[in-house]
């Protein structure tokens, strides 16, 4: 028997709702978790994973939903945080019926939760979900691939970090090292090239992505992954995996700024957030700097307009400057400051809405 105390955990982190569902025809087994809907409907993708245990799945759903609350709040969106996890083998469970069954469970929440694709679910799968519910975003032919927009947001975030750290955001003065030239890394490197960065290095493990970079940007220099963190550059740009800022990598870092698209880059938020702060490195909190894709998809809920979405993504610049200031004023690390910033917005809007106004 597991000793995970569901309600104690929900009370501690102020969750609203956890829904379990099982479809007898397709074997769909999942959990939707809604963390907080103060700002609006909870939005978060559907992750399909072969979890080792049901408890692992619940904990993942809870953790990811809470992360979405902070991400949406810090991005200035009128969205709450939620997530769905499906328990199953991505190689075998998928079918039209499976995702239409999911769509019906999403619809049963009547707009309190909006889903999208995530790890092991695709826009094609979401097309089936959309046959049963309107509460799904990130569909083909609407806001499209989020990666260029995530990269665009990170580019504005890097500008903000340069401005705050060095008082100048002239890219030609700085050197950059990008980890991962996959979806977001590829588009971000393009932006850095266009901005005439002084020097760009990239590190990759996928030969196809290395080849593409060498072909399209011969001046962007490849560096072996083992030498990545020790590079003598101004900015480290993580665009690959989570957990890469840890006891081993941080002591090697010579850069003064860390800002990229990757999620959960701090292996331990507090320990490694503090280590980075103590080294005098400015770290742009992941869930703030990589919100471009989420902001873009949010615009799909209204009538999608690329100009409006792009302008909204640009605001990551001001938001990060505000967060860096909070960190300095309160003498806390920037990841913590980002949470202070997000919680403050939720609290403010909660209070603003406490009087009844007929619309
Ligand atoms: P991706 O899989 O397209 O790219 C990641 C790249 O990193 C791959 O090319 C991979 O080969 C490379 N890589 C893996 N391990 C590496 C290593 N040790 N050293 C160097 N390169 C390595 O993924 P993506 O969509 O670009 O996402 C990258 C990160 O950004 C992830 O953490 C993701 O969660 C986050 N993110 C992405 C989006 C988005 O819109 N795609 C939005 C928000 C956050």
Q: What percent of the chain has pLDDT over 90?
A: 92
Q: Which residues of the chain have pLDDT under 70?
A: 1
- How far is the C-alpha of 6 from the C-alpha of 9, rounded, in Å? 5
- How far is the C-alpha of 11 from the C-alpha of 9, rounded, in Å? 5
**Domain 147-344: CATH superfamily, name plus number:** NAD(P)-binding Rossmann-like Domain (3.40.50.720)
Q: What tokens does 358 get?
A: 């007929």
Ligand 1 centroid, distance to 226 Cα (angstroms): 17
Give the mutation target among 137, 183, 245 for probing the ligand 1 site: most ligand atoms within 8 A of CB: 183
- How far is the C-alpha of 239 from the C-alpha of 358, rounded, in Å? 46
Q: What tokens does 346 get?
A: 């939720």
- How far is the C-alpha of 95 from the C-alpha of 91, rounded, in Å? 11
Answer for the pair 147, 180: CB distance below 8 angstroms, yes or no.
no
Looking at residue 350, its pLDDT comes to 93
Give the mutation target among 68, 261, 294 for probing the ligand 1 site: most ligand atoms within 8 A of CB: 261
Write out pLDDT tens, residues 4-17: 899 999 999 999 99
Rounded to two decimals, the pTM is 0.93
Rg (CA), the chain: 21
Domain locations in the chain?
A: 6-66+79-129, 147-344
Task: Verify whether ligand 1 is closer than 6 Å to residue 261 (CB atom).
Answer: yes
Write out pLDDT tens, residues 154-166: 999 999 999 999 9
CA distances from 294 to 72, 98, 289 (A): 8, 25, 11
Domains 6-66+79-129 and 147-344 share a fold: yes
Write out pLDDT tens, residues 5-61: 999 999 999 999 999 999 999 999 999 999 999 999 999 999 999 999 999 999 999
- How far is the C-alpha of 256 from the C-alpha of 252, rounded, in Å? 12
Q: Is 218 exposed, middle or buried (0-12, 13-18, 19+ CB in 10 A)?
A: exposed
Looking at residue 359, its pLDDT comes to 85
Looking at residue 1, its pLDDT comes to 52
Residue nearest to atom 43 of ligand 1 (CA): 290
What CATH code is assigned to 6-66+79-129?
3.40.50.10860
């Amino acid at each position: 028997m597991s000793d995970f105390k569901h309600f104690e955990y929900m009370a501690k982190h102020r969750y609203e709702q956890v829904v379990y569902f099982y479809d007898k025809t397709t074997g769909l087994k999942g959990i939707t978790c809604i963390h907080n809907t103060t700002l609006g409907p909870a939005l978060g993708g559907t992750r399909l994973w072969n979890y080792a245990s049901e408890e692992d799945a619940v904990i993942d759903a809870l953790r990811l939903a809470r992360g979405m609350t902070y991400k949406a709040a810090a991005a200035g969106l009128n969205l709450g945080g939620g997530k769905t996890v499906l328990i199953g083998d991505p190689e075998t469970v998928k079918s039209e019926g499976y995702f239409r069954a999911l769509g019906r469970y999403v619809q049963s929440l009547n707009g309190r939760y909006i889903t999208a694709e995530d790890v092991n679910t695709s826009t094609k799968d979401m097309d089936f979900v959309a046959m049963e519910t309107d509460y799904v975003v990130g569909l083909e032919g609407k806001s499209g691939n989020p990666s260029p927009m995530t990269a665009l947001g990170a580019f504005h975030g890097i500008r903000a970090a340069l401005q705050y750290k060095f008082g100048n955001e002239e890219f030609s003065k700085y050197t950059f090292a990008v980890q991962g030239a996959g979806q977001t890394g590829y588009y971000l490197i393009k932006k850095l090239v266009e901005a005439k960065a002084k020097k760009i290095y990239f590190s990759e493990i996928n030969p196809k992505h290395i080849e593409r970079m060498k072909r399209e940007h011969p001046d962007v220099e490849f560096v072996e992954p083992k030498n990545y963190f020790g590079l003598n550059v101004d900015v480290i740009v993580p665009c690959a995996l989570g957990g890469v800022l840890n006891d081993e990598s941080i002591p090697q870092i010579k850069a003064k700024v860390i800002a990229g698209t990757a999620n959960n880059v701090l292996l331990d938020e507090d320990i490694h957030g503090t280590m980075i702060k103590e080294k005098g490195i400015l770290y742009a909190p992941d869930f703030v700097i990589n919100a471009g894709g989420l902001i873009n998809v949010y615009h799909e809920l209204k009538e999608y307009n690329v100009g409006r979405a792009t302008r909204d993504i640009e605001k990551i610049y001001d938001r990060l400057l505000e967060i860096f200031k909070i960190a300095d004023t309160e003498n806390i690390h920037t990841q913590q400051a980002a949470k202070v910033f997000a919680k403050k917005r939720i609290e403010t809007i909660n209070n603003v809405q406490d009087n009844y106004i007929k619309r």
